Amino acid sequence: MMNRNPIIPFVLIMVMGIGLMFLLSFKGVGDSKDLAKEKEGGGEKTEETAEANPEDFYQQSCAMCHGNQYEGVSGPSLKGVGSKYSQDEIKDILVNGKGAMPPGLAAGKEDQMAEWIVNELK
């Protein structure tokens, strides 16, 4: 009575799967172009506000070792460090590291961070 071909559902699933694979591939190519443009600086700046504000940069990059309130965790406390070191000394520590602190963690922001530390963390 009913002669159905059992291969038809598998062929349909295969065709839909291949079509979906091509669709996602083209979507990925478009996304990769956007990512490349953003990496070159032409896309939207998602971290621009954190880069512009030393306090935000500190919370993002330094607080895990120096604490949210500058109290020191695995790194030393930064309370009073602005009166202990000059701005140039702090910049040197940011550039070259000191003790357990690795160098270059504030790459490109050393002057801004050193000035903020001296003025805000007296």
Position 2 in a domain: no
Q: pTM of the prediction? A: 0.56
Give the domain extent around 80.
49-120
Model pLDDT, residue 49: 45
Q: Radius of gyration over alpha carbons of the chain, in Å?
A: 27
| Count: domains in the chain | 2
What pLDDT does residue 42 have? Answer: 58
Does 65 carry a binding-site annotation?
yes
Residue 53 lies in a domain: yes
- Cα–Cα distance, 28 to 97 (Å, whole number): 40
Please give the residue that has the higher pLDDT: either 101 or 45: 101
Answer whether residue 44 shows pLDDT above 60: no
Average pLDDT, the chain: 81
Q: Are both 90 and 62 inside the same structural domain? A: yes
In angstroms, the CA 20 to CA 99 distance is: 54
Whether 62 has a binding-site annotation, put simply, is yes
Residues 61-110 pLDDT 10s: 888 888 888 888 888 888 887 778 888 988 898 898 888 888 888 888 88
Residue 30 and residue 53 in one domain: no
Q: Is residue 26 part of a domain?
A: yes
40-44 average pLDDT score: 59
- Give the tokens for residue 85: 């070191």
CATH number of the domain encompassing residue 102: 1.10.760.10
In a domain, 32, yes or no: yes
The answer to whether residue 75 sits within a structural domain is yes
C-beta separation of 113 from 57 below 8 A: yes
Is residue 18 located within the same domain as residue 59? Answer: no
pLDDT reading at 47 higher than 50? no
